[in-house]
Amino acid sequence: MDAVGWGIVGYGWVARDYMEPGIRAAGHRLVAVCDPNPECRAAAERAGARGHADLAGLIAEPGVEAVYVATPNHLHRGAVEALAAAGKAVLCEKPMAATLADAEAIARAVESQEIFYGTAFDQRHHPAHRTIRAQVAAGRLGTVTTVRIVYACWLGRDWSEAGQPNWRIDAAQAGGGALMDLAPHGLDLVDFLLDEPIADLAALTQSRAQDYSVDDGALLIGRTAGGALASLHVAYNCPDALPRRRLEVVGTKGMLIAENTMGQTSGGSLSFIDGASGRVEPLAFDADSSPFTEQVRAFGSALRRPEERGAYSAARDLHTMRLVARAYGQG
Ligand SMILES: NC(=O)c1ccc[n+]([C@@H]2O[C@H](COP(=O)([O-])OP(=O)(O)OC[C@H]3O[C@@H](n4cnc5c(N)ncnc54)[C@H](O)[C@@H]3O)[C@@H](O)[C@H]2O)c1
């Protein structure tokens, strides 16, 4: 496949540390970025891309075919609407937007402009998660009854990566706290692993350990239309040295346990426990394959081959945002 020309809107932590290396590793090209911060533009120029202070400059770049949006959440909507109007393909970071109304506007823009759109759920592309999906589809677990997810971290008031301000603790920019930031991954992953979205949801949030106003933890319970249950524990109040990234899929014939696979990086572990004997079997997967690199490859491939675009759906991602709103008692 010929190299896809990428643009990036918002060249901060995730763009610099994960997306730019992913674009390079996939053999694609980062053509240009848009970021109002001169230091971020300088970082992009060091990576071989042209820097623009405004979105119009990036949109005018003829070599930019696909654009990754990685601004703070409240700016996703404006960026995606402008990119859709310009006919660019868009891969927008999660959560789709800071509010359900903004996510609905994004879905409308994508539909009316008929652009190729995906939300950047990189964890769909972790090889351990692809293995789980394949094992579930092959019936290895029997009837899946439950998915249990822990996805937590420590996010203090002064947390900062790549020298950026901590917009995550400001409800106006982030749209919420740990639930808004971390739960979309797990909600989407349940759909990906079982091929069945969560239909019903209840949740409780807490503001327990951190000195800011957005929630620093939440427990969510969901159920698919077919009756599988899901539990998610997400948190900003869990010390990073504790076990805090765990995914279990339980069925009538056995269970799969993935540890340290949720997140931006490659690696982690995956094992199967047989429901009859209790025997534990480690399962191999490509431990060097980065979910971000795989995400770039998959999006680029679908850009070139429209028949692969069924793996992406703004309507599905909007449903995930509706679940998040419901978890906050808004839907
Ligand atoms: N998929 C994942 O695992 C993952 C991981 C981290 C972050 N994210 C998501 O990525 C997004 C960015 O998060 P981050 O941690 O990289 O944030 P960040 O603060 O490190 O970076 C945001 C960047 O956006 C820039 N920006 C601000 N206003 C802008 C504008 N009007 N136009 C263009 N750029 C603008 C900032 O200057 C900054 O460089 C968020 O939506 C976040 O939820 C996803």
69 C-beta closer than 6 A to ligand 1: no
Question: Does residue 279 share a domain with residue 223?
Answer: yes
Q: How many domains is the chain partitioned into structurally?
A: 2
36 C-beta closer than 6 A to ligand 1: yes
Contacts of 312 (CB under 8 A, 6+ apart): 116, 117, 118, 299, 302
Residue 205 Cα to ligand 1 middle (Å): 24
Domain containing residue 94: 5-120
Which of 120, 149, 165 is the C-terminal boundary of a domain?
120
pLDDT, tens digit, 9 for 90 and up, residues 182-237? 999 999 999 999 999 999 999 999 999 999 999 999 999 999 999 999 999 999 99
93 C-beta closer than 6 A to ligand 1: yes
pLDDT, tens digit, 9 for 90 and up, residues 104-150? 999 999 999 999 999 999 999 999 999 999 999 999 999 999 999 99
pLDDT, tens digit, 9 for 90 and up, residues 63-110? 999 999 999 999 999 999 999 999 999 999 999 999 999 999 999 999
Residue 12 Cα to ligand 1 middle (Å): 5
Whether 315 is in a domain gets the answer no
pLDDT, tens digit, 9 for 90 and up, residues 16-46? 999 999 999 999 999 999 999 999 999 999 9
Question: Does residue 84 share a domain with residue 128?
Answer: no
pLDDT, tens digit, 9 for 90 and up, residues 41-69? 999 999 999 999 999 999 999 999 999 99
Residue 235 Cα to ligand 1 middle (Å): 19
Which of 120, 136, 168 is the C-terminal boundary of a domain?
120
Question: Does residue 112 share a domain with residue 176?
Answer: no
CA–CA distance, 293 with 297 (Å, rounded to integer) = 6
| Of 321, 324, 322, nearest in space to 76 by CA | 321
> Atom 7, ligand 1: which residue's CA is nearest?
14
Which atom number of ligand 1 is nearest to the Cα of residue 14? 16
Q: Is the pLDDT of residue 164 over 90?
A: no
Whether 307 is in a domain gets the answer no
Question: Does residue 172 share a domain with residue 279?
Answer: yes
Mutational test site, ligand 1, from 14, 52, 160, 182, max ligand atoms within 8 Å of CB: 14
pLDDT at residue 162 in the model: 75
Whether 294 is in a domain gets the answer no
Residue 222 Cα to ligand 1 middle (Å): 28
pLDDT, tens digit, 9 for 90 and up, residues 268-320? 999 999 999 999 999 999 999 999 999 999 999 999 999 999 999 999 999 99
Whether 302 is in a domain gets the answer no
Whether 267 is in a domain gets the answer yes
Question: Does residue 173 share a domain with residue 268?
Answer: yes
> Atom 36, ligand 1: which residue's CA is nearest?
10
Question: Does residue 241 share a domain with residue 197?
Answer: yes
Question: Does residue 75 share a domain with residue 223?
Answer: no
Question: Does residue 140 share a domain with residue 79?
Answer: no
> Atom 6, ligand 1: which residue's CA is nearest?
14
Contacts of 165 (CB under 8 A, 6+ apart): none
20 C-beta closer than 6 A to ligand 1: no
Output the domain CATH number for residue 56: 3.40.50.720
pLDDT at residue 1 in the model: 66
Mean pLDDT (the chain, rounded): 97
Question: Does residue 11 share a domain with residue 58?
Answer: yes
Which atom number of ligand 1 is nearest to the Cα of residue 122? 1
- What percent of the chain is helix, strand and coil (3-state, nearest 5)? 40, 25, 35
Residue 182 Cα to ligand 1 middle (Å): 14
Whether 314 is in a domain gets the answer no
Whether 82 is in a domain gets the answer yes
pLDDT at residue 271 in the model: 98
Question: Does residue 110 share a domain with residue 34?
Answer: yes
CB 35 within 8 A of CB 51: yes
> Atom 39, ligand 1: which residue's CA is nearest?
12
pLDDT at residue 6 in the model: 98
Helix (H) or strand (E) run with residue 141 in it: none
Whether 299 is in a domain gets the answer no
Which of 87, 105, 120 is the C-terminal boundary of a domain?
120
231 C-beta closer than 6 A to ligand 1: no
Question: Does residue 195 share a domain with residue 217?
Answer: yes
Question: Does residue 139 share a domain with residue 62?
Answer: no
